[in-house]
Amino acid sequence: MSPSRVYRYLKVTMVQKSAYVTLKYVLPISSYTHYHDVYSEMKGAFISHLLYPIRYIRRKTFMSSHSATINQTKSKGGTPALLALAISAFGIGTTEFVPVGLLSSIADDLSISITLAGLLISGYAIGVAIGAPVLTALTSKMSRKSLLMSLMLLFIVGNSVAALSTSFGLLLVARFITAFSHGIFFSIGSTIAADLVPAHKRASAIAFMFTGLTVATVTGVPLGTFIGQAFGWRSTFWGVALLGVVGIIASAILVPKNLKEAPPAKFSEQLKILTNGRLMLAFAITALGYGGTFVAFTYLTPLLEDVTGFSAKWVSVILLVYGIAVAIGNVVGGKASDKNPLKALFWMFVLQAIILFALTFAAPFKVAGLIAIFLMGLFAFMNVPGLQILVVNLAEKYVPSAVNVASALNIAAFNVGIAIGSFVGGVIVDGIGLIHTPWIGSIMVAGAVVLTAWLRGIERKDA
């Protein structure tokens, strides 16, 4: 019998345990020893080949099942924690923007100019810009849940001091200190939110957390303005301190203890962020794209009263409408940025620049002005999830050990933009008038359009 015939015979009978016996009786004695060796080798190869697909299928099934379990666990366990983050973000968002509706009241009570009162917004933004990266680096070894609780405690103390302030200097210091909690909160909050959900839902998770910020714009700022006008601006800060108490309780109950902890970044790794061209470009996009709106938004109350002609009682209602637009824009921005943040951001900035420019001509007319303000609100926060996930993605790609610090620097960039926008707005108000703040803001946003297109080009080359 030829070796080829033996091979064919083995293929048929190998699956039976009697294969060895079959060969023993079929082959001549002289050939038996040789073919016994052939059989042994073929048996091992055959069984290994037969079992490989089974092992592969079992491994793939296990991996898929394990991955699905992790994703399901993230989705189920992440929602309560995201809710707690959103509640705290609501309180922080309210204290950040509520002075917009109270500038006139604070200026009159403390006998200061409206432009000086505007420093309560730009000064707060500077506090965030300084505190976010520095304190994030200093607290990198601290448990993230403990850090969240500590931040809300600082938030409560800062707003209580603001409520007790009898001078502009003390109020400004209280705002500056409170801003420290803001910077670190949104920095680590963004990374926690991203870790709580599957990878393809990260931008949406960050948008969910920032929903607290947008809901603050919808309800917190108008309600704070109403309370301040009715009972005095100090009452508003007491109310915000109470929101901090709610936030710290929510974090204690809903945020899990076993949060994924990022390894502490070495100082050399942190320096890599500042030397990475793509990340620095992203920070510049954040400052210009987000900050441009604040040239006009910081002085929205006097713009509505002095240019559009609305009475003070209507300002709270208009801020509510503005806030609704912001909330819608935030949700849309999160969904739009999930797949391609840079592409989504480019078109968001283009439309926002156009709207701000148009507001300059629409502001003197009530109906046209309200439409333009609604659209400004729609795009004002739409870019936030995309900007944050862009930086997180770039940091994970180029400086993975310093993602938290990169996120903090982006929060700083947001607030550098606010500070620049508010300061420029004040200069414009004192120089050429309120009506010119929107189109000046559109120039800042147009700068973000150019930088976003540049970064898209760089990323495409490396793709």
pLDDT at 108 over 60: yes
What's the average model confidence in pLDDT over 34-48? 42
Q: What are the distances in angstroms from CA 418 to CA 48, 290, 374, 436? A: 65, 7, 19, 17
Band (287; pLDDT cuts 50, 70, 90): very high
Residue type, 30: S
Between 360 and 58, whose confidence is greater? 360
What's the average model confidence in pLDDT over 355-362? 94
Is 261:144 a contact under the CB 8 Å cutoff?
yes
pLDDT of residue 277: 87
pLDDT of residue 265: 58
What is the sign, positive or negative, of the torsion defined by CA atoms of 231, 125, 384, 315? positive
Q: Look-up: residue for tokens 């505190």?
A: 131
Q: Which two tokens stand for residue 427?
A: 């200069």
Q: Which of 52-66, 74-88, 180-194, 419-433 has the highest mean pLDDT?
A: 419-433
> What is the C-alpha R_g of the chain?
30
CA–CA separation, 375 and 191 (whole Å) = 29
pLDDT at 314 over 70: yes
**Long-range contacts of 317-320, Cβ-Cβ distance < 8 Å, separation of 24 or more:** 317/222, 318/370, 318/373, 319/100, 319/101, 319/217, 319/221, 319/222, 319/225, 320/218, 320/219, 320/222
> Three-state SS for 17?
coil
CA–CA separation, 152 and 444 (whole Å) = 33
pLDDT of residue 353: 96
What's the average model confidence in pLDDT over 115-122? 86
pLDDT of residue 262: 59
What's the average model confidence in pLDDT over 350-372? 93
CA–CA separation, 147 and 251 (whole Å) = 10
Kindly compute the dihedral angle of the four CA atoms of residues 394, 395, 397, 401, in this order, to the nearest 10 degrees. 180
Least trusted range by pLDDT, from 248-252, 354-358, 435-439, 440-444 = 248-252
DSSP category for residue 265: P
pLDDT at 23 over 50: no
Of 438, 422, 421, 321, the residue nearest 103 (C-alpha): 422
pLDDT at 138 over 60: yes
> Three-state SS for 2?
coil
Provide the whole-model pTM.
Answer: 0.66
Of 259, 187, 206, the residue nearest 405 (C-alpha): 187
Between 448 and 125, whose confidence is greater? 448
Between 373 and 132, whose confidence is greater? 373
Buried/exposed 268-282: b ≥16 CB within 10 Å, e otherwise: eebebbeebebbebb
Band (22; pLDDT cuts 50, 70, 90): very low
pLDDT at 275 over 50: yes
Main-chain dihedrals φ then ψ at residue 19, nearest 5 degrees: -60, -45
What's the average model confidence in pLDDT over 209-217? 75
Q: What are the distances in angstroms from CA 361 to CA 14, 192, 306, 322, 356? A: 87, 43, 15, 18, 10
Is 127:175 a contact under the CB 8 Å cutoff?
yes
**Chain centroid to CA 258:** 21
DSSP category for residue 257: S
The helix (H) or strand (E) run that includes residue 65 is helix 29-97
Band (11; pLDDT cuts 50, 70, 90): very low
What's the average model confidence in pLDDT over 48-57? 41
Band (74; pLDDT cuts 50, 70, 90): very low
Residue type, 415: N
Band (26; pLDDT cuts 50, 70, 90): very low
What tens digit of pLDDT does each residue of 161-198 get? 999 998 999 999 999 889 888 878 877 777 788 777 77
Between 350 and 410, whose confidence is greater? 350
pLDDT of residue 27: 37
What's the average model confidence in pLDDT over 413-437? 89
Of 329, 327, 75, the residue nearest 193 (C-alpha): 75
pLDDT at 260 over 70: no
What is the percent of the chain where pLDDT is above 70?
A: 79
Band (283; pLDDT cuts 50, 70, 90): very high
CA–CA separation, 434 and 296 (whole Å) = 8
What tens digit of pLDDT does each residue of 398-422 get? 888 778 778 778 888 888 898 899 8
pLDDT of residue 198: 76
CA–CA separation, 372 and 379 (whole Å) = 11
Q: What are the distances in angstroms from CA 271 to CA 267, 302, 350, 394? A: 6, 42, 32, 15
Is 453:346 a contact under the CB 8 Å cutoff?
yes
Residue type, 268: S
CA–CA separation, 228 and 429 (whole Å) = 24
